[in-house]
Structure 1
Amino acid sequence: MQNDMVKCGLVQQNDSLFIDSIEKEAYVWCEQNWKHDDHEHTHERAQLTYVEEGYQYFHIDRRIYLVPQHHVIWIPSGKAHRITTEATTVNLMVFLFSTVFEEPFYQQAHVFAVPPVLKEMLLYASKWNKLLTDNEEQDIFFKAILKSLPNFCNEGSHLEIPVPADIRLIPVCTYINSNFKYNLDMDLLAEKTQMSVRSLQRTFKKETGITLQKYLQLTRILKSIELLDTKRFTLSEVAYKVGYQSLSAFTTSYFAIMKSKPQARKH
C-alpha cells in the first residue's frame, strides 16, 4: 500500500504501522460503508470504535471480539489488532485519543452495548467528524466521553471467543466452528486431542476460561448475529441454522450472551 495512505486521520507507513502527525488531543472519524484491511496493525492513539450499522470482529491477544451494531470496543494505545467482517454494510465512528486517564479500565480491551446516554453523546460528537483543528467544546466533550467509559462498560457481556495457546486444542475449536449446528460429541473431540474426555474438559477450561459447552454457545450466538445481519432469514430460520431446536431455546441463549432479545430482520 502507498506510504501516504490516510485512514482515520493516521498515515499508514506500512501494512502494520500507522503514524500519527495530528496535534489534536482527540478527534472522531465517521465512515459509511467501511472498507477495512484484514492485516494486524498498531498505532499509538487509544481507540474507541462505535458500530452504528453492521458488525466487526477484532482479533486482539489471542481473542476474537465481536462488536455488533450499537456496541463499542475500547482498544488501548499500542495494542496490535486485526479486523474482519462479513457484513454487507459497516458504518463506524472511530474516536482516537492521544492520552487517557490512569484507571486500569483504559489498559485493557472492552466491548459493551452502548446505553442511550452514551449513544446520544457519540452521535452529537459526529458534528466534529474529521475536524483536525482545535475546538474547545470538542476537547471538553470528548474528555467527558472518555472519563465516563468505565461507568458505561458492562462487564457482563462476553462477546469474545478465546483462542487457546495449547496447539492440541486448536483442532477442537476448528471442529466446533465448522460444526456448531450439532451438539458436542465429547468422545470425538477427545480423540482429536488424544486426551481423555475429562482431561480435555479440564485443559480447555484452564486455557480459555470457559467450558466447551460455553464455547459452543458463544460460537452459535455470534454466527446468529452474522445471519441476522444479512436480513434474509426469520428468527426461527436463524435459530435452526445455528443448531437450536426451538425459537424459545435460541432466544434464551441469545439473551444470556447479548443481554437483549434477537430482532427479526424479515417476517
Structure 2
Amino acid sequence: MQNDIVKCGLREQNNNQFVDTIEKEAYVWCEKDWKHDEQEHAHQRAQLTFVEEGYQYFHIDKKIYLVPRHHVIWIPSGKPHRITSEAKTVSLMVFLFKNVFNDDFYRNVHVFAVPPVLKEMILYASKWNQLVKEDEEQDLFFKAILKSLPNFCRENSPLEIPVPSDIRLIPVCTSINSNFKYSLNADELAEKARMSVRSLQRIFKNETGITLQKYLQLVRILKSIELIDTGRYTLSEIAYQVGYQSLSAFTASYQSVMKTKPKVKRIT
C-alpha cells in the first residue's frame, strides 16, 4: 500500500489533488528546511507563502513567479502550482485559508515584498505553527492578516517570467536564458523564431506582455538573486556574471525590479 503524502497538513487524495480534514478556518505551517518534490499540485485552500530564507520559483498558469526572501505569494484556492528552488536552504511559513473575502484580489496570484508591519504580523503568527485546534486569538489574528493583504499589495510585483504559448518563441526564450550575460541580438533571435525582427518584437510583446529587453532584464535579476543567495560573491562580481558592465548599472536595474537595493548575503 502506498504511503499517504501529507503537505502542510493536507493529504494527497489522487492525481496530486490534496484534501484536508482540518476544520479550522485558517492555520499556519512553518518549516526551516523546506523539501521540494517539484510536482504540480492543487488544493481547495487559498495559500499565502512567506519566504523567510532562500527563494522559490512558483510555476503557475504558464508563468514563473520568483518569491525571494521576505516576499510573499498569494495563490487562490484550486490553482495548480509547482515549486522549484536551487537555494541551499529554504525556510517558509505557509498560511492556508478555507474562505476568503469577496474581493478581486483573492482571485488572482500576487507576489510582493513584505512591508515591516506585515512581516511582524507574520512572524508573530509562527507561535501557532501547525496548531489545528480552535484558538480565538489565532482566528481573529489570521483574519486580520487576510483582510489587510489587498492594502499591503499596492501593485503586482514584476517578479514573474511569462512563458509564451507560441512555440516559435520557445527557442527565443531558451536562447535568452542561456545567454543572459550578453546583449540581445535581435537578428539572431528573429532567425531562431523564423520571422522578421519586427514580427518577433510584436508577437513576443503580445504573448508575454513585456519586451525582449525587459525579459532579458528579468532573467538577469532573477539569476543575480540566486547568486546573492550563495553568499560567495561580491555585488560587483555578481553584476559582471549576469551581464552588467558596472555595479551602478546593475544596482539601478535591480532596484527598478525589486524596489530595493541589492545586498550581499552574509554567511554566518
Superposition TM-score, scaled by structure 2 size: 0.97
Paired residue total: 267
1:118-267 equivalences in 2 (<5 Å): 118-155=118-155, 157-265=157-265
Supply the distance in 2 between the matched residues of 1:120 and 1:186 (Cα, whole angstroms): 46
Structure 1 unmatched runs, 5+: none
Aligned partner of 2:54 in structure 1 is: 54
Gaps of 5+ in 2: none
The whole-number CA distance in structure 2 between the counterparts of 1:155 and 1:149 is 11
- Correspondence for 2:113: 113
Structure 2 counterpart SS, 1:233: coil
2:71 is aligned with what amino acid?
A: H
Measure how far apart 1:162 and its partner are.
Answer: 0.4
Answer yes or no: is the 8 Å Cα contact 2:46–2:97 preserved in 1.
yes
Cα RMSD of the aligned pairs, angstroms, is 1.3
Per-residue Cα deviation, 1:218-245 (whole angstroms, up to 9, x for no partner): 0000000000000000000000000000
**1:49 alignment partner AA:** T
| Cα displacement (A) at 1:256 | 0.3
State the secondary structure of the residue aligned to 2:28: strand
CA distance in 2, matches of 1:240, 1:266: 20
Amino acid at match of 2:216: L
1:266: Cα distance to partner? 5.8
Alpha-carbon displacement from aligned partner over 1:197-235 (angstroms, at most 9, x marks no partner)? 000000000000000000000000000000000000000
**Residue number in structure 2 paired with 1:27:** 27
* CA pair 73-219 structure 1, distance change in 2 beyond 3 A: same
Any idea what the Cα deviations from partners look like across 1:57-87, whole Å, max 9, x if unmatched?
0000000000000000000000000000000
What is the TM-score with the length of structure 1 in the denominator?
A: 0.98
CA contact (8 A) 1:55 1:66 kept: yes
For residues 139-166 of structure 1, the C-alpha deviation after alignment (integer angstroms, 9 at most, x for no partner) is: 0000000000000013152000000011
Aligned-pair CA distance for 1:4: 2.1
Secondary structure of the residue aligned to 1:83 is strand
Q: Deviations over 1:114-161 (max 9, x none)?
A: 000000000110000000100000000000000000000131520000
